[in-house]
Structure 1
């Protein structure tokens, strides 16, 4: 037999080379499919631990790497939280004060009452909201914005349960604090106002016995509502001269009961009630404090 006539071995006839290639390719496909399956499987716990997880906002890691503003804004404990709450509370109070100032047109817009001279209509420790003269004035008010208790007219203007405006006035010739009382009537300069006065509110038999009669100038005759502590006109007991219109700095409109006690206690104008003996930290009767200044109530 010649070399060219040699027959292939039996294993080649059985597809030896072909059989060798087929399992190899199947093995490659199986390996590839196995890799695909492994890629879709959940990562091992060890791999999960190696993942990069961003730190929680406000955590120590974030705070160390974040800006001061971020730490201040996101702090949930410690001094930064306390500072943020204090600033927020102060901002709210300031905003409320600015809104009141814009509405009332006068600063301070609130008066804390220490005296009993306006009881029972304005009580001791009440907080009174006031406005500049002329603002929110009723139709029957004069050019200053004041309606006197003895004004003539069919319609009476009531303020704090009685006729007449409650005014805050300051005598520029006095070193004392402002006064908050009710305006009873208006007099002209040189007027003998004795006959117009309520006899119960003067202790005199004639104009000559009154220090402010005849009136040295035009203005208002004023008085506190409490007859026990303020039985006479301010111009009859020496509390104040006839009140010029220019001396009126505010008109009272609204009272918030007892809230002014906090202000008065902090400034020493009121005792702490049951916390301290009566009279400790208090000052003489007839005074009150406004937010930012002191008010005298006669």
Structure 2
């Protein structure tokens, strides 16, 4: 059996080859060894995050400023299945706490009340997911005009008939980007967000790290209008 940087004799068996690979100072071998080690670490971290979140991928990159200043463009956000560890304040069995109820019980996420959810607009799997805050829940056919905050409606809308998606065409969450002037449902981003359209809830963010994903893969979250 050879030692050092000499290639081991094939007759010495696979164990000798592995020992040589782990101990060799050859530049090419060191490069491959470090690359493999880094890949294994990344894979282990990914599997751990998946085990906790129940989602794959468990991390999403924010593409726009519609959630400023609480989530900013380029943030990497960890998302967890909404019903995995549901808080007591969650609406019914959705696993999601709305802004309206969160304000009553003091439940906050990302410096404001209620959960921030990642959802498929209008339930479309082809559309880029949106990451916005769940404001309140409506039932199918509900006139939710009086429940809405007039600050997030057009000033010339005086009743449900003038309000888009009112009465509610289906049960679901009324959502809004923290920096946006209007609800998603009156801006035309989505109908009320059904429970099955919700991919998960945002749990924490890593500033700037999302830029790597945006630049390398082009995958992103929230390509929707921002406040002007």
What's the TM-score once normalised by structure 1's chain length?
0.68
- Corresponding residue for 1:243? 193
Tell me, which stretches of 5 or more residues in structure 2 are unaligned? Answer: none
Q: Does structure 1 conserve the Cα–Cα contact (< 8 Å) formed by 2:5 and 2:26?
A: no
Following superposition, the deviation at residue 154 of structure 1 comes to 4.5
Following superposition, the deviation at residue 296 of structure 1 comes to 2.4
- Corresponding residue for 1:260? 210
- Determine the C-alpha separation between the residues in 1 that align with 2:132 and 2:175: 6
Q: 1:102-251 to 2 correspondence within 5 Å?
A: 102-142=51-91, 143-151=93-101, 154-170=104-120, 171-173=122-124, 175-203=126-154, 204-226=157-179, 230-251=180-201
Deviations 1:85-112 (A, max 9, x none): 1111000000000000001111111111
Q: Does structure 2 conserve the Cα–Cα contact (< 8 Å) formed by 1:112 and 1:261?
A: yes
Deviations 1:187-214 (A, max 9, x none): 0000010111111111122211222000
- Corresponding residue for 1:68? 17
Q: 1:38-49 to 2 correspondence within 5 Å?
A: none
- Corresponding residue for 2:4? 58
Number of aligned positions between the proteins: 215
- Corresponding residue for 1:295? 221
Deviations 1:239-275 (A, max 9, x none): 11110011111100101111111111223x4xxxxxx
Report SS of the residue matched to 1:116: coil
- Determine the C-alpha separation between the residues in 2 that align with 1:127 and 1:261: 8
Q: Does structure 1 conserve the Cα–Cα contact (< 8 Å) formed by 2:5 and 2:20?
A: no
Q: Does structure 1 conserve the Cα–Cα contact (< 8 Å) formed by 2:4 and 2:24?
A: yes
Which structure: larger Rg? 1
- Corresponding residue for 1:276? none
Q: 1:264-283 to 2 correspondence within 5 Å?
A: 264-267=214-217, 269=218
- Determine the C-alpha separation between the residues in 1 that align with 2:200 and 2:64: 18
Following superposition, the deviation at residue 152 of structure 1 comes to 7.3
- Determine the C-alpha separation between the residues in 2 that align with 1:64 and 1:178: 52
What's the TM-score once normalised by structure 2's chain length?
0.88
**Are residues 1:96 and 2:24 paired?**
no
Higher relative contact order (CA 8 A, sep 6+): 2
Following superposition, the deviation at residue 115 of structure 1 comes to 0.6
Q: 1:212 to 1:140 in 2, by over 3 A?
A: same
Tell me, which stretches of 5 or more residues in structure 1 are unaligned? Answer: 1-53, 270-288
